[in-house]
Every structure is written in C-alpha cells, then in structure tokens.
Amino acid sequence: MGNLLLGIGIGFAAINVVLSILIIGELSNRKIPVNYFLLRLFMIKYVNQYKNATISESGKPGSYYYLWLASINLTLVFCVIGIIVKA
C-alpha cells in the first residue's frame, strides 16, 4: 500500500514538473525575465509572477496556477502518507 501511495506521489511530482515548464513558457511569452540556472530555487516566485500577470490580463489567475498548487500539495500529501504507511 505504501508503494502505491509513493507511486501516486511521484506521478503528481511529474505533473508538477510539466506544469512548471508550462508556467515558465507563459512567462517567457510575456517577456518576463526567467533565470533558468536557478529555476527550482525561484519557482514559487515565478508562479506568483504568473498569477499576477494573468490576473492583470483577465481578472483571474490562469489555469496552470491552480493545477500547479494542487499538484505540489498532492505530491506532499501522498509521499508523506506513503512513507508513514510503509514504515
């Protein structure tokens, strides 16, 4: 059971990586500077910039914002529960 939960957590982590790439692509399209060298360190900052940019354009956060938040939180939840169950 623990391995299954860890696998689901890893799946959500992969989804999070894909969404991070999509958010960085959207920021690049909007000419917002992105430091690719320190990308993982500044990812939360870039997600916030994406949210602010989409709010200023359409009045609400972009769709990737909520998906990114859900995927990072579900990764944490499933991995922690998987480790607890496995122990």
**Domain edges within the chain:** 2-86
pLDDT, tens digit (0-9, with 9 covering 90-100), for 25-81: 999 999 999 999 999 899 999 999 999 999 999 999 999 999 999 999 999 999 999
CA-CA-CA-CA torsion for 39, 54, 48, 74, nearest 10 degrees? -90
Q: How many CB atoms neighbour CB 66 within 10 A? A: 13
> Per-residue confidence at 86, pLDDT binned at 50, 70, 90?
confident
In the DSSP assignment, the letter for residue 36 is: S
**Which two tokens mark 71?**
């995927």
Whole-number Å distance between alpha carbons of 36 and 63: 22
